[in-house]
Amino acid sequence: MAALFVAGATAVSAQDDGLLYGAILKTPANPHWNAMTQGIEDAAASADGVEVVVSTVANEGAAEQQLNNCETMLLREPDALIVGAINSNILLPCLQRASEQGIDIVDLDYNLDREIAEGAGVDVTFTAGNDGHDTGAVGAEFVAEQLGENPSGPVLVIEGLPGNPVGASRGEGFRQRLAEIAPDLEVTTLNGDWDRGKSANIANDILQRNPNLQAVFAANDTMALGATEALLAAGRDDIVVVGVDGSSDAIESIRSGRMTATVAQFPYLVGHRAVELLNQINMEGAELDSYQSTGQSVITQEALEEGTDEMIQYLR
C-alpha cells in the first residue's frame, strides 16, 4: 500500500489499520541495501493494507544509530521488523523487547547470529537470504575453476567488519571449500570493513608482497570493486576477483571486463520475498520454515551476454 523512507530515526505516525512493517537497514551508500529497500517497498506497494517504514544509517559502522532507529521504530508499534543488522549484538536489546511484544522479526542476509539472538531472548521469525558458508563455497569453486588444474600460490580473502557474521561466514565457507578442492593455494584473510578504499589498499599491499597473487575473494561487491581498481592500476588484469551481492556497480564492472564475477545474492528479491512471507504469516496464518533461501548465481561477463540465467531479471 505505502512505503515511507526515514533517514535516521525521525518519528512517523503509523496508519490506523492494516499492517505496518518497520525496516531497520544499513547504509543506502551501499547499492546492496538500495536494492533491498526497493524490493521491500515494491512488495508493500503491491499488497493491500500494508505500510512499510524504512530507516537507514549513515555508514556501515553506525551501530548506535541503528539501535536508536530500532528503538524509535518500536514506538510506532509495528507488526513486524525487517532487520539488516550491522552486527550480531547491537540490536539485541531492542529486538528482545520486540519479541516480548509479539512483533515478528525478519533477519535479512543472516546478519543475526541465531544462537546469540535466542540466548538474548530474541525470537527470529525467519531469515531471508542465503547461508554465508554456502555463498563462500560457491565463490571458492568458481575461483578454483578459473585457475585451472592443480593451482598454487597466494589468494586474498577480504571479509567485512570484525564481528559481522555475514562476512565471517562467507570467508570461512570460501576457505573451507578451497582447502578441499585446491589445497595448494595459500589463503590470507584481512578485514576490509565493507569499505572500497580500505579494500583497495589491502589488495595493493598484498600484491606488493605477493606478486604472484592468484585471486581475490571479497565478502561483498564494494570491497571487490576496491580490489579490482587497485589491481588494474598496478597493471594486473590477470588476477581473478570475485565479490558477493550482485550490486549495480559490480554488474557494470563485470560487463566491461574489469571485475571477474560476483556471487549474486539478488537483494531486491530478498527484500521483496521478506514482505511476501510476512504477508503470508499475518494475512493467511501461514507457518514457515525459519530459514528461507532466495537463491544465488555466479554472474560473469559471459552470463550477462548470454542472459540465459533466469535469476538475472532480479539484478538491480
> How many whole angstroms separate alpha carbon 168 and alpha carbon 161?
9
Cβ-based burial of 228 (10 A; exposed 0-12, middle 13-18, buried ≥19): buried
Q: What pLDDT shows up at residue 3?
A: 53
Q: Are residues 271 and 123 in the same domain?
A: yes
C-alpha count within 13 angstroms, C-beta hemisphere, residue 86: 22
For residue 226, the tally of other CB atoms under 10 A from its CB is 26
Domain that holds residue 61: 2-127+267-294
The yes-or-no verdict on residue 11 having pLDDT over 80 is no
Rounded to a whole number of angstroms, the CA Rg of the chain reads: 20
304 occurs within a structural domain: no
* Contact assessment for residue 51 and residue 14, using Cβ atoms and an 8 Å cutoff: yes
253 grid coordinates = 564492472
- Tell me the whole-structure pTM to 2 decimals: 0.87
pLDDT, one tens digit per residue, over 120-155 is: 999 999 999 999 999 999 999 999 999 999 999 999
Q: What pLDDT shows up at residue 14?
A: 37
The yes-or-no verdict on residue 310 having pLDDT over 70 is yes
The yes-or-no verdict on residue 163 having pLDDT over 90 is no
136 occurs within a structural domain: yes
> How many whole angstroms separate alpha carbon 55 and alpha carbon 16?
20
> How many whole angstroms separate alpha carbon 217 and alpha carbon 103?
37
Q: Calculate the average pLDDT of the chain.
A: 94
Task: Domain count for the chain, please give it.
Answer: 2
Name the residue among 265, 143, 160 with its Cα closest to residue 216. 143
> How many whole angstroms separate alpha carbon 166 and alpha carbon 264?
14
Domain boundary pick from 219, 245, 264:
264
* Contact assessment for residue 106 and residue 125, using Cβ atoms and an 8 Å cutoff: yes
* Contact assessment for residue 110 and residue 166, using Cβ atoms and an 8 Å cutoff: yes
CATH number, domain of 198, equals 3.40.50.2300
The yes-or-no verdict on residue 25 having pLDDT over 90 is yes
The yes-or-no verdict on residue 110 having pLDDT over 90 is yes
Q: In angstroms, how far is CA 118 from the centroid of its own chain?
A: 22
Q: Are residues 40 and 116 in the same domain?
A: yes
For residue 7, the tally of other CB atoms under 10 A from its CB is 12
The yes-or-no verdict on residue 213 having pLDDT over 60 is yes
